[in-house]
């Protein structure tokens, strides 16, 4: 493995996948909270991890077991890639390439990025709305069929923007789901809205009641991770996502 390579290590064989969801620390930790809930609700087995010399030198411990911070889960042709550590700006282009190449090699029908989009009046919003971005007209039609509102104007910055660009370049079906979210606080409510949208999009049946009941506990547990993620997002200029393009040419 080269110094700047990222390798998807499969500890159990995966022949093919239909859908792959990517959740990493980002705005409101929405993506990570959402995929963590899905993994536990579906009892998805861990089947691999991502490794690279450009990742931070971190091992996470769960129930006494050391684990890679960026792990792969798979069950019934649904795969999830989830990172428990913020990603550096330098790692993002290689990460996006590696994820898209791996998903394409598995014949993925749809690669789905899940995240938050910061809104200033989040405290006044009871149920956050979810917006979708489709990589092509086919994905836009798919979002329309399940009544996920398209994001018409705005910026995307960070890992999901680069995954989208790679999918466009390599003709991999891709959608990005963005829930209205707090920018600097963990937002389980926004994650619940993302899961509700995924239920419609992928015909899942994942209950979000427990997620909402544990919202305060999740906020406390993820507070330090949110602070580290904020520092990482500042380097990516994530605040620019709250702006609108000045013109359309």
Domains and their CATH numbers in the chain: 16-241 (3.40.50.10900)
134 Cβ contact list (under 8 Å, min separation 6): 140, 141, 142, 143, 150, 174, 175
| pLDDT value for 236 | 60
Give the pairing of strands 130-134 and 174-181. Answer: antiparallel
pLDDT tens column, 114-165: 999 999 999 999 999 999 999 899 999 999 999 999 988 777 888 999 999 9
Largest CA distance in the chain: 55
Query: If phi over 0 gives left and psi between -120 and 50 gives alpha, with beta otherwise, what is residue 154?
Result: left
Surface-to-core class of residue 111, CB atoms within 10 Å of its CB (0-12 exposed, 13-18 middle, 19+ buried): buried
Q: Which residue has the tokens 């993820």?
A: 222
C-alpha neighbours within 13 Å on the C-beta side of residue 179: 31
Surface-to-core class of residue 216, CB atoms within 10 Å of its CB (0-12 exposed, 13-18 middle, 19+ buried): exposed
Report how far residue 168's alpha carbon sits from residue 136's, in angstroms, rounded to the nearest whole number.
Answer: 8
- Contact between 60 and 67 under an 8 Å Cβ cutoff? The reply is yes
| pLDDT value for 5 | 86
Confidence band for 248, pLDDT divided at 50, 70 and 90? very low
DSSP label of 69: S
Give the pairing of strands 65-67 and 110-118. Answer: unpaired
Confidence band for 66, pLDDT divided at 50, 70 and 90? confident
pLDDT tens column, 165-218: 999 999 999 999 999 999 889 999 999 999 999 999 999 999 999 999 999 999
Q: What is the rounded average pLDDT of the residues 13-40?
A: 95
């Amino acid at each position: 493995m080269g110094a700047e390579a990222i390798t998807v290590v499969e500890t159990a064989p995966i022949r093919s996948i239909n859908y792959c969801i990517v959740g990493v620390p980002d705005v409101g930790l929405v993506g990570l909270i959402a995929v963590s809930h899905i993994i536990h609700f579906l009892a998805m087995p861990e089947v691999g991890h991502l490794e690279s010399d450009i990742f931070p030198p971190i091992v996470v411990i769960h129930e006494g077991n050391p684990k890679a911070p960026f792990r792969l889960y798979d069950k019934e042709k649904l795969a999830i890639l989830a990172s428990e550590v913020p990603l550096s700006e330098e790692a993002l282009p290689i990460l996006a390439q590696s994820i898209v190449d791996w998903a394409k090699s598995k014949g993925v029908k749809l690669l789905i990025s899940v995240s938050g989009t910061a809104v200033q009046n989040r405290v006044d919003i009871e149920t956050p709305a979810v917006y979708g971005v489709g990589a092509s007209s086919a994905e836009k039609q798919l979002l329309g069929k399940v009544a996920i509102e398209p994001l018409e104007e705005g910026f995307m910055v960070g890992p999901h923007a680069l995954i989208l660009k790679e999918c466009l370049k390599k003709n991999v079906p891709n959608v990005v789901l963005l829930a209205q979210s707090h920018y600097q606080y963990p937002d389980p409510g926004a994650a619940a809205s993302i899961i509700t949208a995924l239920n419609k999009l992928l015909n899942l049946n994942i209950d979000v009641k427990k997620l909402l009941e544990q919202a305060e506990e999740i906020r406390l547990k993820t507070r330090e991770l949110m602070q580290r993620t904020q520092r990482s997002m500042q380097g990516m200029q994530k605040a620019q996502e709250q702006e609108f393009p000045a013109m359309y040419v």
